[in-house]
Structure formats: structure tokens, C-alpha cells
Structure 1
Amino acid sequence: MSEEKTASPKIFISYSWKPEENKEWVLDLADRLHREGVHVIIDEWDLAKGHDKYSFMEKMVNDPEICKVLLICNDDYVIKANNRKGGVGEESLIVSKEIYSSADQTKFIPVIRSSKDGSPNLPTFIHSRIGVDMRDPDKFEERYEELMRDINNKPKRSRPPLGQLPSYITDDSVIVYSTAHKFRPLKEAIVSSKPNTNALMKDYFRELGETLLSFSLSNEEKEKPDFDDIVVDRFNQLGPLRDEVVEVFSLYINYNKDVDSDLLISILEHLLNIEVKLNNIIYSSAPYYNEHISLFLNEMFLYLSALLLKYERYSVLKDIVTTSYWRESEYSADINYISCAKAFNKYLQSLNEYRTKRLDLRHYFLSSFILRSRNANTYLKFDEIIEIDSILYYLGLIYGFDWSPRLSCYSRIRFLYPFFQKMKSKRFFNKAKTLFDVESKTELIEKAKNIKTENHYSSYYYNIDNINNILNDNNIAIVN
């Protein structure tokens, strides 16, 4: 089917014949514009002998079919326009009258060809008009495109469609977190690779910590027998904040060639100590009244780990799972450093015991069911969260921390997750081996064989296979 032909825009060019090179430059410009679909009216082509030149000029300036009038402003044009001399002077009188009486302020486009004291040299009657600066021959093509876009009303950046007001304006029930004003400049800094990105990251997560503190239960709420209802409700209220944090991590990991492990570890350590401050205990047989924060941090660590896996930042993932996290404590120094599992994979007593018993629920781990109910977001599918939960378990066997893969029961894949399926490729293994801190297939298989820990997660609930059935000679680096 043939496309409908677009009508050519019609323009008039007003210019000075002096000096001769200016006239030649203008005619070259007119020739190119005409060849590229712009109907150019210019005296050299359209004013025949015997025509009244002043009548011609007036008609061109006032003709409604002329969509644009180009005013080619070189030194001679400016002098004649200001002094009202010659054809240019007559045209300037007509143009100035039209400019000041017309509602259409975009019809007349100054094309700047000369300077005065370093600034564009323009006639007085258009000195405040925005024009196309064509003084620099090296930028001619860039400015020519700008001129063509103006003539055809096709700006390089158009106004986007008018959207709807944000929900935090229109919906009084929407919670606006104090991190929002930190999030916007941080997002811009990440995308633009600004040097202050890391500082803004720290600033954002400090604000996040203060926000989490505001979600703590009051002493009065802790005394209620159904305090666990409040815990679940507070966790659900943190859903939009979870999405904001995941977007920060996703942008940071995706846009940074060299992700800073130390920065991520310091952020995680800071948030861990916010949780310690909230609970104000280290060991206790009583329920933790702020375990919605513990579950939020568990979820955040899973998403961060899954994003690092997705974007193949294996060395960074190894760093955050193998580091010992410092936890503030009034007790002896030997418990001040804990593994990622003890920091972000806690057993949540208020949910998995107290609430399950109070409501007579049939969930082995209610906390996992709550995570699943919240589901994933734009950046990750929940299957990817289940996968990283199981991978963290296997990494724990290798590096000596006890990660409980409580989400594995929801897996639709029996044992061999996509990451391990891809390990069959030699190329992929050579990228991923840094995660296991090995140099060869043989070294990794030996590591797996030397693990003597009994697999107490092999029940139907966990859906976890023995590590030697995963990391063996039949599954690693067998295809090119």
C-alpha cells in the first residue's frame, strides 16, 4: 500500500546580495533545501524582470502559504535592515510590521551568519529572537538539521504525551516514603554515571534506615495478643519501598561496569544494625516484635543477590555472601561478626511459630508464604528469587554458612536450576567459576566432594538435591 505523500513546506528567504560569497552561500542553502523537499521562494529564482520587487517582498512575507521566512543575517543585512536601506531595508519594514502584528511568532527564523563583539549580529527588530546559529562551518550539518526540523515542525525532542498525576498526589491512602526525595536524584546520577553516585547511594540508604525505624511497633502494640497482625500489615506496607530499593539496586548494577562490593556490604551492614536497634536484643526466647523488618531485609538480600546473578556480577555476589557482617553488640566481641545467613536469613519466630499457632495455619514456614504472596516485581520473576535462595544454600555449603532455602518448596523446577543448567557450557563456566572461587572444573568438583555436611534440606518441603548431584562431571563444562 503506497504511503500518502506529505505536502512540501513552502518558505521564503530574505537575504543580502553582498558580499558575493554571502549570496552564493544562500543560493547553495536554497538549492539543498529545495532538493530535500522544501519549496523555496527566493528572488534569484522567482522574481522575473519587470516584476515589482517591493510588491513581491510584501506578498512573500504576508502569504499564508509561506510557513517560514528565513532571515539570513550577515553584516550587510544587519546594516541595511537597521538603516532601512535597499531591498533588505524594505523587507525589514514589512517583516517587522508582520512580526509585531502576527500571533504566529515562529514564522520568522533568523539564520545567524556573523558576530558583533562575539555575540550574534542581528537587526534591531529581531535582536531578541531565537535563531539558527550557522556561523561555524564545522557545525553546519548539525545546524542544518536544526533548521530543517524547524521548517518541518519536527523537533528533535517532542513533548511527551500528558500523563496522569502520580498516585501520591491523587490517592490520600498512598504512603509516600521519605526516601522518595533521595531516590530521584540518585536514579539520575546512576543513569548519567555521575561521580557522586556512591555518596548518593549511602545517603539514600541512610534515609531508608530511618524509614524502617519509623515502622517499629510501639510498646502498646507489642502488648496486644494479635500483635502479629500488625507485623504482617507493616510488612505489606513496605511493598512499594521494596520495589524502590530493587530499582535502585537494578540500576546501580546494570549501569556500573565496576560494581563496588564494599559499598554494597556497607549498605547491608548499616541496615542490619537498624534491625538490631529495632529489636534491641541479641538472643531471646520471646518473639521478635519487629520481624517485619527482618523479613524485609531477607527479601532485600535475596533480590540484590538475584540481580547480581542476573547481570553476571559473580565476583560481587561472592563478596557479599562470603563477608562477615559487623553487628553492634553490648556483649563479647566474638559475636560481633556474623555470616550473611545469620544476618539476612533468620528464622522468624513471631510468624513461623506464634502466628501459625494462634491462627492454626498449615504453613511450614509462614514467612516464605508471605514472601511468595507479595510476589516479584518489574525487574525479577519470583522463580528467580526461588533460584537464588537455593543457590545461596549451595554456596553456604562451599563457604561454611548455613542458609536455609525456605522458598525452594515453591520451585517448579526439580533440582537443576537454570544457572546450573548453563554451567554445562564451558564458556559460561569460565565466567561463573569466580562465584565458587575456583580456577577449573576439577577444582569445583573436588570442593563439592569434600563437603561432608548432611543434607537436612532434602525433604519434600525443601526440594533441594545433594550438592554432588548438582556439581559433578556430567553437569559442568561439557559443551563448547
Structure 2
Amino acid sequence: MKSTIEHPKVFISYAWASEDYRLKVRSFATDLMGNGIDVLLDQWSLKEGNDTYAFMEQSVTDPTITNVLILLDPIYEKKANERHGGVGTETQIISPEIYNKVKQEKFLPVIFERGENGEISKPQYLKTMLHFDLSQEEKYDSEYQRLVKRLYGIEIVEKPELGKKPLWLEEKSIIQTKTRTGYECLKQQKSDNIKKDEYRNFLFAVKEKIVNFRKDELGDSVSTDEYIELYADTKLYRDEFLHLLKYSLYVSEAHKIIASVMEEICVEIKSKGGYEGEVMRTLLHEIFIYVIAYYLKNKNYDALSYTLSKTYFVGRCGDAEVGSFDVFYDNNESLDRAVSQKDDKNYYSGTASYWINNINIEVCNKNEFVFADIFCHNASLFIENYTRMWFWFPITYIYDRTEYRNSLFRQFAIRLKSNEHLQEAAKMMGYSDTESFKKKYIEIERKMKEGIIKEYRYNSAFETAPVICQYVKSEELGIRN
């Protein structure tokens, strides 16, 4: 990891253009000064009678200068390539420094203004270098913050710790062959009602195993290893449920049966005491995310809409307690601590780490699971039937950060610019038309800007749980075919 810089000092190289441009450069340099970064800028450092060449050479090669910021625009590119004027002089000084060093971190290209058609202008000797982009107003603040971090020697994206080999690599199925074979009858040509009854009976059998789960040898207190082993013992039930989930393709309206069985499980384990009750509620939370991941993966929008918009009745003995899909949410601090202690890691969530490490790849991969969890967070914001004051917190969202540009959630959000995808998203969220969804979108967008809806994040995390409003503005929704 690169060491931090206590007192950054930078030289700014730029092309003299209009007076407005020079004022813009000076304003940028003033902001840096205000953030504790000493700036060497010709507008306030070069006095009448000074040798301009000597000033440039000294500024570029001075060892006390921690970074040289090269502010790029079309004029700078032209002058640098033609070796013209002060920019040409600086290019002759800077380019050998870049070309002759295998690893150079001193010179930082900054896109300051783009061409008439939005193109990025870079001199030939800088073409292959990564850059910061301060040319777009909507991204200026985030890019400026990235740049300041870089100038202080702070990692912009910290490399994650090396994890362990995932357990599922060498795992064999623990579902009995007889059980798997029995499910095959769902593929046969039968009436819808017969298949529904068979499917419900299969799921009911798994449900009974879950609600009656008990481990007799447990004492009043358990060790870290014992608690993790207890949760690991529920894996068979998870995988049996998920194996049946895959057969939903062959059963009409299977999603209604699945939602009903999950509701029944929730009712029966809601007040179950002891360690078994804790792990069962966490297991149901995990299963629910898998169900949403599977529907997303298979583009089953009817199933998504039904499952996420449904009202769940989870009271017992005549209690009329109702809830949205948040009834499946659980916060297992015991599992969080146990996993963190066992691995000797300070995980944001030991539960999330365990889930990711033990992913059932027959149903979805890690990225699809995380996408589903984040999707639930967004659904809790946008679905009208979601009535809780708190929103679904996606405990796995931190596993989306290393693939930010290609994350499934970001792809989903950006596609809302397409009217086709907008219609699909509106359907998933339970809206009958896109206009109703847009109205809600504008409301959420406004509440986020006004701070009425707060960002969700782990206390010590820089990244927040992503929301589609962060990627697509309301006026961009459905603007393309």
C-alpha cells in the first residue's frame, strides 16, 4: 500500500486560453489549496522578470513537488503535439520523465475540458495513461474527491484482503439421489392442479424439516465453532429448498406456492427460541435472497412482482400481524461474531461472508446473489406495498464494490434509460404502468436529495448500498427505445 503524504505539493501544467479558462484553472487551484494541498501555479507563483523556462523546468523536476497535474483540453493537446509555446516546453520536460520510468506516479493527466463533440483530448505521449475526469459537471465532485485522495497518497480503491478458497469448489451434493429422482415427476405431462399439489407437498416436506430442526446436544452456551457448525447443519434444508426452486419452471404459478410456504415457515419459526431459532431465521433470510436471485436470473417478472408486493401474514393464534417481504429479514449478530472470530477477520458482516463463501452455484453465482440482495433494498424503496419505516439493508452489498463498472445492479440501473427495460422494472416493482413508477421514482429521488431518505451503509464503510437513482436521473427514464 502506498504511504500517505502529509503535505502534498503540486505543480499545475495547463494551456493558456481564454480569460474564463484561466479563471477556471485558478478556481480549481484555490480549491486544492483550501484542501491543504500546496499549489505551484504560474498565475500566482511566476512574477514579472522571471525566466519562464527555468520556472517550468524547476517546477516539473523539483523533488518537493509530489505531483504534476496536467490539465487537458483541445488546446493543450494541439500545443503539446506540436511542441508549441509554454505547453510545448513543458512537454519536452515532462515526456522524457514519463517515457524513461517504468513506474511513474508523479504526473497525473486531468481531463479539464472536452472537445466540441464531447471527445477527450490527450497529447500523444499521454494516450495510454489513466486519467481523472473533471470535465463533466455531474461527476465533478466525485472525481475531485478521488483526485484529492490520490494527492494525499490514499488508496482510491483499496485492494481487498485475499480470502479463502470457496468451499463450494470441491463440494458434492448432499441431497439424496432418491429425493432428486422423486422431483423428476414434476417434468411429466400432467394437469396443472396435480403438479401444483405435488410441488406443494415436496415443499411442505422441506418446510417441516426446517421448522422442526433441533440439535439435542447443544448446551446453554456454544463455542464459535459449534455455532458455525449449527448453521452449517441447515445447509441440507437450504439446498433441498433451492433444488425444488429450480423445478418451479415446470409448475404453473409455482411462485405463489413458494411464497406461501416461506410465509408458513416464517410464522412457525418467528418465536422459536434458542440457537436453533436464530439459525432458522437466518436460513429463511438466505433462502429468500436466493429465490429473488433465481427470478431475476430467469427474468420471471410475474414471480418477482408477486413475491415482493405480497402482504405476508405472520401472526400466530389469531394475531393479525402483517408485513411486506421484510418479514424474511434477519440480523444474526451471533453468526456475525462467530464467523469473524473463526476467520480472525473484522468482517462488516460475518453472515454475509459465510453466505458468499458457501454459495449454491447450482442456483446462482456470487454476483447474482449480491444483485438480488441489493435489488431487495431498492424494492423496499419503490414498492408501494412496502410499509415499514426502515428499508431492507443488503448485508452483502460490499461484495459488489470490486466489480463496480460491470456489476449486475449497475447494468440493471443504466438499462432503465430504455423504455423496454423501464416497463420490465415497473412490472417487477408492482406497477401497472411506467408513469406510476416514474412518479414514485421522482419522489424517491427528491427525498434522497433532501436527506429525508438516508444512505444505507456499514458504519465504517465508504461505499453505500446502491440505489438506482444514483445511476439514472428521473428525466432519463425510458428516453431510448
Query: Which interval holds the TM-score relative to the shorter structure?
Result: 0.5 to 0.7
Deviation at 1:214, TM superposition (A): 5.0
- Between stretches 236-245 and 363-372, larger displacement belongs to 236-245
Separation in 2, partners of 1:175, 1:380: 18
Separation in 2, partners of 1:191, 1:474: 48
Match for residue 370 of structure 1 among 354, 369, 377: 354
Note the alpha carbon deviations across 1:8-58, whole angstroms, 9 max, x for none: xxxxxxxxxxxxxxxxxxxxxxxxxxxxxxxxxxxxxxxxxxxxxxxxxxx
Over 3 Å counting, the alpha-carbon distance change for 1:292 and 1:339 in structure 2 is same
Q: Tell me what 2:437 maps to.
A: 444
Separation in 2, partners of 1:312, 1:303: 14
Note the alpha carbon deviations across 1:334-366, whole angstroms, 9 max, x for none: 5x223321x222111322357757987512211
Deviation at 1:454, TM superposition (A): 1.9
Over 3 Å counting, the alpha-carbon distance change for 1:217 and 1:314 in structure 2 is same
Pair 1:204 & 2:191 matched: no
Match for residue 340 of structure 1 among 313, 321, 325: 325
Separation in 2, partners of 1:393, 1:462: 15
Is the contact made by 1:356 and 1:363 (CA closer than 8 Å) also made in structure 2? yes
One-letter code aligned to 2:250: Y
Instruction: Output aligned runs, 1:369-388, within 5 Å.
Output: 369-388=353-372
Q: Tell me what 1:185 maps to.
A: 182
Separation in 1, partners of 2:411, 2:243: 23
Match for residue 419 of structure 2 among 426, 430, 439: 426
SS of structure 1 residue aligned to 2:270 = helix
Aligned residues: CA RMSD: 3.1
Is the contact made by 2:210 and 2:237 (CA closer than 8 Å) also made in structure 1? no
Is the contact made by 1:448 and 1:467 (CA closer than 8 Å) also made in structure 2? no
Pair 1:397 & 2:386 matched: no
Pair 1:409 & 2:408 matched: no
Is the contact made by 1:182 and 1:204 (CA closer than 8 Å) also made in structure 2? no
One-letter code aligned to 1:204: F
Deviation at 1:317, TM superposition (A): 1.1
Structure 2 unaligned regions, length at least 5: 1-171
Separation in 2, partners of 1:358, 1:312: 38
- Between stretches 377-386 and 442-451, larger displacement belongs to 442-451
What is the count of residue pairs matched by the alignment? 292
Match for residue 310 of structure 2 among 323, 326, 332: 323
Q: Tell me what 1:90 maps to.
A: none
SS of structure 2 residue aligned to 1:404 = coil
Larger Rg over CA atoms: 1
Deviation at 1:392, TM superposition (A): 0.6
One-letter code aligned to 1:333: D
Over 3 Å counting, the alpha-carbon distance change for 1:225 and 1:430 in structure 2 is closer
Match for residue 235 of structure 1 among 231, 235, 256: 231
Separation in 2, partners of 1:461, 1:198: 47
Deviation at 1:194, TM superposition (A): 4.9
Is the contact made by 1:215 and 1:234 (CA closer than 8 Å) also made in structure 2? no
SS of structure 2 residue aligned to 1:423 = helix
One-letter code aligned to 1:348: N
Is the contact made by 2:306 and 2:430 (CA closer than 8 Å) also made in structure 1? no
Separation in 1, partners of 2:307, 2:256: 9
Separation in 2, partners of 1:222, 1:461: 40
Q: Tell me what 1:246 maps to.
A: 242
Is the contact made by 2:225 and 2:338 (CA closer than 8 Å) also made in structure 1? no
Deviation at 1:215, TM superposition (A): 3.4
Separation in 2, partners of 1:466, 1:311: 22
Structure 1 unaligned regions, length at least 5: 1-172, 281-286
Instruction: Output aligned runs, 1:32-431, within 5 Å.
Output: 181=178, 183-190=180-187, 192=189, 194-195=191-192, 196-218=194-216, 221-226=218-223, 228-252=224-248, 254-256=249-251, 258-276=252-270, 279-280=272-273, 288-329=275-316, 333-334=319-320, 336-341=321-326, 343-353=327-337, 356=340, 361-399=345-383, 400=386, 401=388, 402-411=391-400, 412-413=403-404, 416-431=409-424
Deviation at 1:419, TM superposition (A): 2.4
Deviation at 1:303, TM superposition (A): 1.1
- Larger relative contact order, structure 1 or 2 (CA cutoff 8 Å, min sep 6): 2
Note the alpha carbon deviations across 1:103-131, whole angstroms, 9 max, x for none: xxxxxxxxxxxxxxxxxxxxxxxxxxxxx
Deviation at 1:321, TM superposition (A): 1.6
One-letter code aligned to 2:363: Y
Is the contact made by 2:207 and 2:261 (CA closer than 8 Å) also made in structure 1? no
Deviation at 1:198, TM superposition (A): 1.2
Is the contact made by 1:398 and 1:447 (CA closer than 8 Å) also made in structure 2? yes
One-letter code aligned to 1:187: E
Over 3 Å counting, the alpha-carbon distance change for 1:440 and 1:205 in structure 2 is closer
Deviation at 1:333, TM superposition (A): 2.8
Deviation at 1:377, TM superposition (A): 1.2
Over 3 Å counting, the alpha-carbon distance change for 1:418 and 1:243 in structure 2 is farther
Is the contact made by 2:431 and 2:437 (CA closer than 8 Å) also made in structure 1? yes
Over 3 Å counting, the alpha-carbon distance change for 1:430 and 1:324 in structure 2 is closer
* Identical residues among aligned pairs (%): 16
Q: Tell me what 2:94 maps to.
A: none
Deviation at 1:443, TM superposition (A): 3.3
Deviation at 1:301, TM superposition (A): 0.7
Separation in 2, partners of 1:211, 1:458: 35
One-letter code aligned to 1:239: K
Pair 1:435 & 2:421 matched: no
Note the alpha carbon deviations across 1:293-317, whole angstroms, 9 max, x for none: 2222112111111111222222321
One-letter code aligned to 1:200: E
Separation in 2, partners of 1:433, 1:174: 37
One-letter code aligned to 2:282: L
Deviation at 1:391, TM superposition (A): 0.9
TM-score (norm 1): 0.54
- Between stretches 400-409 and 238-247, larger displacement belongs to 238-247
Is the contact made by 2:175 and 2:236 (CA closer than 8 Å) also made in structure 1? no
Separation in 2, partners of 1:189, 1:465: 38
Over 3 Å counting, the alpha-carbon distance change for 1:301 and 1:269 in structure 2 is same
Note the alpha carbon deviations across 1:232-284, whole angstroms, 9 max, x for none: 213223334433322321221x334x42443222111122134236x24xxxx
Separation in 2, partners of 1:478, 1:315: 24
